[in-house]
């Protein structure tokens, strides 16, 4: 198949999933074309089956905001026509689904019928999509999609609950590539962070309010009173400076490291003992899955799609959003005894294997084939 993928080329969950999916499809012999405004963060190597088409937006003095959607639709028309694509797969509804719909209408005037699949990732529905400014367009473009997928049952229900969607939504969960995410021997790195063999807790996110990074620091403050430990905060965003200030106020600055954005997060996960994700909304929790693949158990909130990933008392624990005391107590339960920690570490890997790329990729390929067959009827 010749597949066009449209995504945000950033470190965010939707961009990472779209890029990893494209790479995996290319490895299977499919021809994959990425169409976006800059090279995706993880598309950092050459492959005979991978192509990248940059959407350039001309900045005229007339425009306060450059019309990216029109530029994207025009580029989609060109790529579909001249590369003879079979299907478009757009990740994140705004503005990709509406641009794909516009491109589809234009291509019809050339006698080309191109089906498109929209994958909803979370904030395009839970945050941006609910905004009255975008809601009519989001509803329309999802309904006009030839196929719709979400990354969790929870997001599927959320979508049906907030939008008047007439079509069936298929759940295809996020996945993990074990060629990249697996436990790596990084003993020298571990020694540098925890010279006295302290336990290492880790949190990775974009440091937005919805991620509740303050809860991570407050629960760590309680944990380190009982168990010698260090906390690694990976990522960057609006809450970071307030979090750094909180560490100073609590007097735990020496035990907390803010590492900023990191490409090789699997190397940091490989030295960690416990992953913390206390978000008040999480459509899937890809960062937690990446941790599990590196044998790191998870303390999570019970929000959104997290209960579909984190099995309580098996590969970690779930707590109510904002219950810092419970999170700290559960963390102490896992970390206080090596045998218990090893049990949770093994189970984390076992659970991650349910989301192996090798199991999820065939679901996408089968769905593409189904959508293409339906469009050609």
Are residues 347 and 366 both part of a single domain? no
Are residues 150 and 242 both part of a single domain? no
Are residues 351 and 361 both part of a single domain? no
298-330 per-position pLDDT tens digit = 999 999 999 999 999 999 999 999 999 999 999
Tell me, yes or no, whether 180 lies in a domain.
Answer: no
Are residues 312 and 360 both part of a single domain? no
pLDDT at 185: 81
Q: Is the pLDDT of residue 142 over 70?
A: yes
Portion of the chain with pLDDT greater than 90, in percent:
73
Per-residue pLDDT, averaged over 280-300, amounts to 94
| Least confident among 128-142, 339-353, 355-369 | 128-142
Are residues 314 and 344 both part of a single domain? yes
Number of domains in the chain: 2
pLDDT at 184: 82
Are residues 341 and 237 both part of a single domain? yes
226-278 per-position pLDDT tens digit = 999 999 999 999 999 999 999 999 999 999 999 999 888 999 999 999 999 99
Are residues 261 and 324 both part of a single domain? yes
Are residues 191 and 302 both part of a single domain? yes
Q: Is the pLDDT of residue 216 over 80?
A: yes
Tell me, yes or no, whether 207 lies in a domain.
Answer: yes
Is 208:179 a contact under the CB 8 Å cutoff?
no
81-128 per-position pLDDT tens digit = 999 999 999 998 778 889 999 999 999 999 999 999 999 987 656 665
Are residues 152 and 7 both part of a single domain? yes
Tell me, yes or no, whether 120 lies in a domain.
Answer: yes
* Residue 49, domain extent: 2-175+356-375
pLDDT band, residue 11 (cuts 50/70/90): low
3-state secondary structure of 261: coil
Tell me, yes or no, whether 212 lies in a domain.
Answer: yes
CATH code, domain with 26 = 3.40.50.2000
Rounded Cα distance between 197 and 182, Å, is: 21
- Measured between alpha carbons, how far is residue 148 from residues 93, 172, 256 in Å? 10, 10, 42
Are residues 67 and 122 both part of a single domain? yes
pLDDT at 123: 66
- Measured between alpha carbons, how far is residue 53 from residues 74, 75, 320 in Å? 12, 8, 44
Full-model pTM: 0.90
DSSP per position, 195-236:
TT--EEEEEES---GGG-HHHHHHHHHHHHHHS-EEEEEEB-
Are residues 349 and 225 both part of a single domain? yes
Other beta carbons within 10 angstroms of residue 110's beta carbon come to 10
Is 291:267 a contact under the CB 8 Å cutoff?
no
Tokens 């009519």 — which residue?
136
Tell me, yes or no, whether 182 lies in a domain.
Answer: no
Are residues 19 and 165 both part of a single domain? yes
Tell me, yes or no, whether 19 lies in a domain.
Answer: yes
């Amino acid at each position: 198949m010749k597949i066009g993928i449209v995504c945000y080329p950033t470190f965010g969950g939707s961009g990472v999933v779209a890029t990893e999916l494209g790479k995996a499809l290319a490895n299977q012999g499919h021809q994959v074309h990425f169409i976006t405004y800059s090279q995706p963060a993880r598309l950092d190597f050459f492959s005979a089956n991978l192509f990248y088409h940059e959407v350039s937006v001309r900045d005229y003095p007339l425009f306060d905001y450059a019309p990216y959607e029109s530029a994207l639709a025009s580029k989609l028309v060109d790529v579909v026509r001249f590369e003879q694509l079979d299907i478009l797969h757009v990740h994140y509804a705004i503005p990709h689904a509406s641009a794909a719909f516009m491109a589809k209408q234009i291509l019809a005037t050339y006698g080309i019928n191109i089906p498109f699949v929209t994958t909803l990732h979370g904030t395009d529905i839970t945050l941006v999509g609910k905004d009255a400014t975008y809601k009519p367009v989001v509803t329309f473009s999802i309904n006009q999609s030839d196929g719709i997928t979400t990354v969790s049952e929870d997001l599927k229900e959320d979508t049906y609950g907030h939008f008047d969607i007439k079509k069936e939504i298929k759940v295809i969960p996020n996945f993990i590539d074990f060629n990249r995410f697996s436990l790596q021997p990084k003993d020298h790195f571990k020694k540098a962070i925890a010279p006295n063999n302290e336990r290492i807790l880790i949190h990775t996110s974009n440091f937005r309010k919805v991620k509740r990074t303050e809860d991570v620091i407050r629960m760590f403050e309680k944990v380190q009173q009982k168990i010698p430990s260090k906390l690694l905060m990976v990522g960057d965003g609006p809450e970071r400076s307030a979090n750094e200030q909180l560490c100073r106020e609590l007097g735990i600055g020496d035990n907390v490291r803010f590492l900023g954005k990191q490409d090789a997060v699997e190397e940091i996960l490989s030295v960690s003992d416990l992953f913390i994700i206390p978000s008040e909304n999480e459509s899937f929790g890809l960062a937690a899955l990446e941790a599990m693949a590196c044998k790191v158990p998870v303390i999570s909130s019970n929000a959104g799609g997290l209960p579909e990933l984190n099995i309580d008392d098996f590969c970690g624990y779930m707590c109510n959003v904002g219950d810092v005391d419970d999170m700290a107590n559960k963390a102490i339960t896992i970390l206080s005894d090596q045998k218990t920690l090893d049990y949770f570490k093994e189970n984390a890997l076992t659970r991650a294997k349910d989301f192996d790329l090798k199991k999820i990729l065939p679901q996408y390929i089968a769905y593409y084939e189904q959508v293409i067959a339906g469009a050609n009827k």
